[in-house]
Amino acid sequence: MRFVAETNTERLRSFMKHYVTGALISLTLGGIASLAGAQVAIPRESSTSPAAAVTQDQRIRNIVLVHGAWADGSGWRGVYDILVKDGFNVSIVQEPETSFQDDVTATKRILALQNGQCILVAHSYGGAVITEAGTDPSVAELVYVAAHMPDAGENEADDGKRFPSDLSKSGAIKKTADGFTYLDPAQFHDYFAADLSAEQAAFMARSQVLNAAVNFKAIITAPAWRSKPSWMLVAAKDRTINPDLERWYAKRAHSHTVEVAGASHSVYLSHPKEVADVIESAARGVSK
């Protein structure tokens, strides 16, 4: 009887040992499996999470527009309206056109007011202005709209001789006794704004801002397009700046280039949608 009791006791101990060990193993494995399952179930950050939203919001929202010679900032109205509707903060520089340095200073004055980086845009003679002013750290990219784009040591008057324009050969550029230039109102429509109505061109001719003749000879010291991305919009029927010069500028600077067929020098007035699209593409940092 004692042998039987001892044997049963040993069996009970053996049973309990294996049972407890197995239970512990099961609990441990089950815990590991549960933890593994929990890790797999952790969701990945969605594209609509706050962090992703911040990344999507880091696009440039500030645009600064610079007009050219014989014009003022009001000509940007069509482009301005589109950009503002699309959520951009738009500032327009009113250069006095009294000297190249005055115009560069006027542009930098507006750049200093920007809250964050901006896209700096110019038409015509304004291209030389932003080439000089665009080295400002607030400028991320440059957009040239039928504009001059001189290099260091160059000026737009001499660059224009590479591909003479119809205007340069016409005699339509007049000069006042104190050295300011203007376009003959009778020829303004043909050479500056052929794709606008005669009535609109006539108003522009009578309201043109006279530009100091020496401005066209201003030498560029540090061209911004050498260190920053640039875009060129070519006006295919431009008679003020030869479209081939605009293409040459763009090729030299490795600019993203968009061409508007049939557009005159006043492309920013006659094709505001196309101009705004190029500016918005620059703001997105997307090559078209």
Q: Is residue 205 part of a domain?
A: yes
Q: Which of these ranges, 39-48, 85-94, 165-174, 248-257, has the smallest mean pLDDT?
A: 39-48
Task: Show the domain range for 39.
Answer: 1-43
Residue 169: pLDDT over 50: yes
Pairing of strands 230-235, 256-260: parallel
Express each pLDDT in 101-158 by its tens digit.
Answer: 999 999 999 999 999 999 999 999 999 999 999 999 999 999 999 999 999 999 999 9
Residue 34: pLDDT over 60: no
Q: Is residue 63 part of a domain?
A: yes
Express each pLDDT in 56-72 by its tens digit.
Answer: 456 799 999 999 999 99
Q: Is residue 74 part of a domain?
A: yes
Residues 172 and 236 in one domain: yes
Distance CA 279, CA 145 (A): 10
Residues 132 and 26 in one domain: no
Q: Is residue 2 part of a domain?
A: yes
pTM, 2 dp: 0.81
Q: Is residue 202 part of a domain?
A: yes
Residue 48: pLDDT over 60: no
Residues 162 and 64 in one domain: yes
Q: Is residue 121 part of a domain?
A: yes
What Cα–Cα distance (Å) separates residue 173 from each residue in 42, 170, 231?
71, 8, 28
Q: What is the mean pLDDT of the chain?
A: 86
Residues 39 and 69 in one domain: no
Residue 250: pLDDT over 80: yes
Handedness of CA 114, 119, 122, 128 (dihedral sign): positive
pLDDT at 285: 85
* CATH code (residue 187): 3.40.50.1820
Q: Is residue 49 part of a domain?
A: no
Residues 221 and 81 in one domain: yes
Do 95 and 85 touch, CB atoms closer than 8 A?
Answer: no
* Residue scoring higher pLDDT (85 or 27): 85
State the total domains in the chain: 2
Residues 26 and 88 in one domain: no
Residues 2 and 133 in one domain: no
Residues 31 and 97 in one domain: no
Residues 137 and 3 in one domain: no
Give residue 29's pLDDT band: very low, low, confident or very high (50, 70, 90). Answer: very low
Residues 170 and 37 in one domain: no
